[in-house]
Amino acid sequence: MTTLDAEIRALMQRVTEQAILPRYRNLADGEVEDKGGNDPVTIADKESEALLREGLSQLDDSLGFVGEEAAHADPSILDRLDAPCWIVDPVDGTRNFAHGKPPFGIIIARADGGEAQSGWLYDCLTRRFCAAHKGAGAYVDGEKVTSRATGKSPPVAAISLIFMEEERRQATRRHISPNYELVDIPFCAAEQYPRLGLGENDVSIFERTLAWDHAAGALWLEEAGGKVARPDGSPYRVDEWERKGLLGASSPALWEELAARYAKM
C-alpha cells in the first residue's frame, strides 16, 4: 500500500465515522431529497463531500475538485474533468443508504487528461478498501488481486436497466438476458466493480456513466485484469460523462462475448 493509499483510506474511514454512519438508519424528516429522476441525496452526502473536499485539498490542493453534489448544484464544474482533478462520490449507493440497507460506500478517483490515474473504493460497513493506480495493479486491503470469473455456465450478469429508455430495455431483455444467469444489481458501483473482479459476477452493463460512479472502479477492474470499455471497444474516459453505455467484465474474453451480443441490440 502506498503512502497515498494509506492517507486516502484514513480519510475515507474518518469521513465514514463522522458524517455517514451517524446518519445510517437515523435520517430525520427533511434530510432526504430527490434531485430528480429517482436520484436521492441525503444530508450525509453533503456533509461527506464537504469533509472529503477539505481532506483531499490537504493532500494535494493543485488538483481541481469534482464532487457529485457540487456538480449537481453547478454543472459547469464538470468542465474540470479534462484537467487534473479529484473525482468524488461522497456516498455511493445513496438509494440503499436512504432506505437503511447496504451496500454503500465512498469513491474517490484522481484523474489527469480525461483518464483516471488512481482510484479508491471504500465499503463503509465492511471497511473493504480497493485501490488501483494506472500500470501498477489492483489491490484489496493492501493485497494485490487478479480478476477471476465465477466459472459458471451461463456466466453471471448484473445488468442495470434503470436509466435505459424502454426500447433499449426490451432489446436488452431479448438479446442479452437469455444468455446469462441474471442477478440483482447492488445499486452501488463501489460494490459492483469488486463483484466483477472477485468472482461473484462475470459481466455488467451500465447505461449512465458519470465519472464519480465509474472512474475508480473501471480503473480498478482493468488493473486487476478484467475489462471495462465502451460497447465499441473504446476506453472509458472521465470527461465523456454524457456518453451512454459501458460494459464491464471479469475477463477480456467475457467482455468480447458481451460486446458481440450488445452490438445486435
* 171 or 229: which leads in pLDDT: 229
Residue 246 vs residues 17, 208, 229: alpha-carbon distances, Å: 33, 8, 6
Mind listing the pLDDT tens digit for each residue in 180-238? 999 999 999 999 999 999 999 999 999 999 999 999 999 999 999 999 999 999 999 99
Whether the pLDDT of residue 73 is over 90: the answer is yes
Mind listing the pLDDT tens digit for each residue in 99-115? 999 999 999 999 999 99
The span from the CA of 104 to the CA of 190, in Å, is 7
Q: What is the mean pLDDT of the chain?
A: 95
Domains (ranges, CATH) in the chain? Answer: 3-145 (3.30.540.10), 156-262 (3.40.190.80)
Mind listing the pLDDT tens digit for each residue in 222-261? 999 999 999 999 999 999 989 999 999 999 999 999 999 9
Q: How confident is the model at residue 64 (pLDDT cuts 50, 70, 90)?
A: very high
Could you tell me what percent of the chain has a pLDDT over 90? 88
Amino acid at 156: V
Mind listing the pLDDT tens digit for each residue in 138-165? 999 999 999 999 999 999 999 988 888 8
Q: pTM to 2 decimals?
A: 0.96
Sequence-separated (6 or more) residues with CB below 8 Å from residue 51 = 14, 15, 18, 19
**What's the grid cell of residue 127?**
471497511
